[in-house]
Amino acid sequence: MQQETEQKPVGFYSAAAIVVANIIGVGVFTSLGYQVQGIHDVTALMMLWVVGGIIALCGALTYGEIGTVFPKSGGEYQYLSKLYHPFVGFLSGWVSSTIAFTAPVAAASVAMAAYLHKVFPACDTQLTALAVVAGITTIHATTLKAGFKFQNIFSTGKVILIIIFIICGFSMGKHTDIHFTFNEDTWKYVFSGDFAESLVYVAYAYSGWNAAAYLAGEIRNPRRNLPMALVGGTMLVMFLYFLINYVFLSTIPIDTLAAEQAKDFSKPVEVGYFSADYIFGQGGANTMALIISVLLISTISAMIIAGPRVLAAMGEDIKVLSFFSQKTKKGIPARAVIGQSLVSVILILTASFDQLLIYVGFTLQLFSFLTVMGIFIVRYRKLKGPQGAYRTFGYPITPIIFLLLSGWSLWFIADKKPTESLYGLATVGIGALVWLLNKKISKEEQSTASN
């Protein structure tokens, strides 16, 4: 038992770093421009980030229990396969391996390159994004220990730099006089379709709160470290998100931000750059752009670590994907790492940013919804992990809050953004076809063997 524990490379700090790095990424530095298109009340905008944080925290608390019941890498693919049916787990894994990590890697790479372009206009945005994906993929496809050290360093740096920016934002530069007041207009916004739609952007900014679950099989003492990493990492990010968005809204007038985004909805507004310009001036804005570029490298790296573990786990069970299950002598699913990054490259070359956020956010929430709902199956079956199970704090209220808020957001997205919703459902449908193909191949092999 001791030997098995020593062989696992991921401790609490590394697991928490993966969570923090996966969450803090392109969403918080770009999505505010989309939110202010329909919401013009500062209190309602800040409520978005609080509600989004509550959803993520309730999800993390629930995943903590499910992850200790099934302490194997693969995340929702493992959970839904065991709680519902292998078909449901496969669809979740299909979504994870095709868009859940590949699309955010593409989006973060493009956003990183866009911030860098602000400082160095000669840098081609697309080529820079492609080069970053290629470089980080090389690291994580060839070495495990160095890959996690790289991740820990960049994740720690990310948090430190964000804290410095928040402190400077409160103490320096020009500020808009904003007040938190809950009036009639605030509540109209909070219960509006625009609020529900904006929750998808916020949920995207919080996506990654479940990242450590994808590495559960590589975490030492998962009963203790997995829930601590999920919950601790999510709470830290929730606190930082509230403060950094307060800085953004107190330095950039809402009308200015809305007008800037309205110029081109297909591209993100570099909110951090504009906020830094108000705080420090042009020189400080350029410095901030460089800092955010570094922060996004950490996000890209975290997703290139976590995502391929899903594809590799699926390859162990699904014959048509067995190619991706192979690992190197160092235990790295290199084929899955490279395969995921190739899909990200395709998206960098073809995708539109704003539709990508809605499409990914809607599709991911579908399977997070199913996974959290699975906690009731865990309790009904009285399932426990090999080392006992962490128990979800606040059960059953915690998962119910997650399900109600997520369900509300999904309903409005399906109604207001049918195109992106249909793209998400079409992705699931393609996964169903791959499942049927695998079943057909398996039956043919069984028939051949029996003859």
CB proximity list for 188: less than 8 A, separation 6 or greater: none
CB neighbours of residue 104 within 10 Å: 29
Q: For the chain, how long is the longest CA-to-CA vector? A: 80
Strand intervals (E) in 58-111 = none
| Run of H or E including 83 | helix 76-83
CB neighbours of residue 428 within 10 Å: 16
Sign of CA dihedral 259, 41, 271, 171: positive
What letter would DSSP give residue 319?
G
Residue 265 structure tokens: 């909805």
CA 369 vs CA 68, 106, 296: distances in Å: 19, 24, 27
- Kindly calculate the radius of gyration of the chain based on its CA atoms and give it in whole angstroms: 21
- What 3-state DSSP class applies to 1? coil
Full set of structural domains in the chain with CATH: 2-442 (1.20.1740.10)
Measuring CA to CA, which residue among 148, 151, 94 is closest to residue 297? 151
Q: How far apart are CA 253 and CA 275, in angstroms?
A: 10
pLDDT tens string for the chain (451 positions)?
A: 444 444 666 677 777 777 887 777 777 888 888 888 888 888 999 999 999 999 988 988 898 888 878 877 667 888 898 899 989 988 988 887 778 778 888 888 888 888 888 888 888 888 998 998 998 888 878 876 665 666 667 667 777 878 888 888 887 766 666 667 777 888 888 888 888 888 888 888 887 777 666 666 667 777 777 778 888 888 888 898 999 898 888 888 888 888 888 887 767 777 888 888 888 888 888 888 888 887 788 778 877 877 787 778 778 877 778 888 888 877 788 888 888 889 889 888 876 777 777 787 788 888 889 999 999 999 998 887 665 567 888 889 999 999 999 898 888 888 878 888 888 889 899 989 988 888 888 777 777 766 6
**pTM (2 decimals)?**
0.77
